[in-house]
Structures are given as structure tokens and as C-alpha cells.
Structure 1
């Protein structure tokens, strides 16, 4: 499936199995909001990430979207990036604690993120999906790209939805996506 097809499938699954959660999702990010984000951080977002924020720009509250993460808004991603970029510029981080080309799209509400790595840190593969922990050195590359990640999320939702008509936060926190061969890849900052 293509990324837009996966988003459509996810949208349907959320409406079917998590209608109350679905009602908390934000409206799509506008083209102007996406352009302002790119200009502020001097980045070009890949088409899939633009489509992601153009699907729903974050959510209200911290109910779990998948595993223990919720959707981060474009404004939330910008704020996280500003803070981390400032700390990086001040010399507060060891190597690969943070990179200015890591764009958060999920957060756990405690300062940790799942990011699209536009730089290709550790592997040289720009566009990979990785975890950023604010207080832990682990830097796990979870998926090779956003499409592979979304395909695994949709598959996990489909499997969970086959077992239960309505899905709870607790069920979503326990879901384990099927990773492609060779993933996840474990690295550490420092």
C-alpha cells in the first residue's frame, strides 16, 4: 500500500475501533504551517511526513495512539526541536544525543519522541524512524522509513481490532509492530 492508502486505512480503523480517541485528533496542518516549519528549521520535509501532519496535526490530551505515544502536533514538534537545538548549540549534549534534522511526530508526554531522522544518523539512511529519549542514551532505529512504520502500525491495529471491537489505551500500549528484517537497530548517543 502507498502512504496515502495506509493513512486512509488507519483513519477508518481509528473511527471503527477508537471513536472517542478519534474525536480528539486535530485538524490537518495547512500548507502555510508546513512551509513555516520548514523555513524555521531549514528543512525539507519528505512527502510522507507532510502527508502525516496533513492528516491530523496532533491530538488533544495524551491518550495513547500507539504503544505509549500520542500524535505530536507540528507546533509541539517545533517546540521540542527548538529546546533540543538550543541545548545542542550550548554544548549540553554528547554526540548523537540530538540532531537538528530529527523531526518528532510522536511523543510520550515526558520529553521522549519518535522522530523521522532526515540526516540518517548512525546508518546513513535519511528518512529512518528512530527513538529519542531525553534522559537515556539508547537511540533505536525502529524502521527504515515512515511508510514501513505506518504499514506496521496499520497491521497491528487490524490484528487488535479483529480481537476487540473497541480498543483501549492499555491495548495500544502493549501492541508490538512487526519490524522489517534487520530492524530495530540499537545504537547509543555518546
Structure 2
């Protein structure tokens, strides 16, 4: 299934199974905001990430979208990247604590992020999805790309509680995503 089709399926699932949460989602990021983001960080966002932010530009509050993470807005992602870039340039990080090509799209409200790695840190595979912890060296590569990640999220929403009942925040916080064979890949900063 394509990323666009998965996004449409996710939108329907959220409306059906989490209507109160769905009401907290912000509208799409405008094209001009996406272009300004790319210009500031010297990046060309992959098509899937442009579609992601073009679907919803974050949410109100910190209710969990999946696994105790909420949707990060483009403004919030930019702020995360600015702070980490400054610390990286100041020499405050060990190798691979943060990389300029990591674009956060989920956050837990405590400084940890799920990022799209546009450079392919550790594996050489640009576009992979990794976890950035603010206070722990683990840097697992969770999925080979954003489409595989979104497919796992959609599958989790479809299968939790027989796929029909309304979902509570606690259920989605604890859900396990099905990883493709060989994932996650375990790496550490330092």
C-alpha cells in the first residue's frame, strides 16, 4: 500500500476509533511553511514526510497518537532541530547524539523524538525511522522507511481491540508495532 493510501486509511481509523483525539489534530502545514523549513535546514524533505506534514501539522495537547508519542508540528520540529544543531555545533554531543539530517515528527513531551533520518546514519539507508532519546545513548533504527512505519501504525489501529471499538489513550500508548524482519536495528551514540 502506498504512503498516501495508508495516510487516508489512518485518517479514517482515527475518525472512527478515536474521534475525540481526531478533533485535536491541527490542519495541514502550508506549502510555504514546508518550503521555509527546508530552506532553513538545507534539506529536501522526502515525499512521504511532506505528505505527513501536509496531512496534519501536529496536534493540540499531548494525548498519545501511538506508543506515548504525539504528533509534532513543523514549528516544534524546527525548534527541536535548532536547539540540537546549536548544541552539536558547540561540541556538546558525542558522535551521533544528534545529526542535522534527523527530522522529528513525533515527540513524547519529555525531549524524546521519533525522527526520519534523511542521511542514513549508522546504516547508509536515507529515509529510515529512528528513535532519539534526549538522555540515553540508544539510537535504534525502528523501520527502514516512513511507509513501513505508517503501515505498522495502521495495522496496530486496525487490530487493537478487535478493530471495532473506540480506543482509549492507554491502549494506544501500550500498543506494540509490528516491525519488518530484521528491525529494529540497535545502535548507540558515542
Query: Cα distance 1:154–1:163, how it changes in 2: closer, same or farther (>3 A)?
Result: closer
SS in structure 1 at match of 2:187: strand
RMSD: 0.7
The aligned residue for residue 73 of structure 2 is 73
The aligned residue for residue 176 of structure 2 is 176
CA offsets, 1:155-187, max 9 Å, x none?
A: 000001525511111100111011001100000
TM-score by length of 2: 0.99
Structure 2 gaps, min length 5: none
Query: Cα distance 1:164–1:174, how it changes in 2: closer, same or farther (>3 A)?
Result: farther
- Is 1:11 the counterpart of 2:11? The answer is yes
- Is 1:55 the counterpart of 2:55? The answer is yes
Q: Is the 8 A contact 1:17 1:161 kept in 2?
A: no
* Distance in 2 between residues matched to 1:134 and 1:98, nearest whole Å: 9
Structure 1 gaps, min length 5: none
* Distance in 2 between residues matched to 1:76 and 1:55, nearest whole Å: 16
- Is 1:122 the counterpart of 2:134? The answer is no
What does 1:1-190 align with in structure 2 at a 5 Å threshold? 1-162=1-162, 165-190=165-190
* Distance in 2 between residues matched to 1:79 and 1:163, nearest whole Å: 36
TM-score by length of 1: 0.99
* Distance in 1 between residues matched to 2:14 and 2:162, nearest whole Å: 13
* Distance in 2 between residues matched to 1:164 and 1:61, nearest whole Å: 25
Q: Is the 8 A contact 2:157 2:163 kept in 1?
A: no
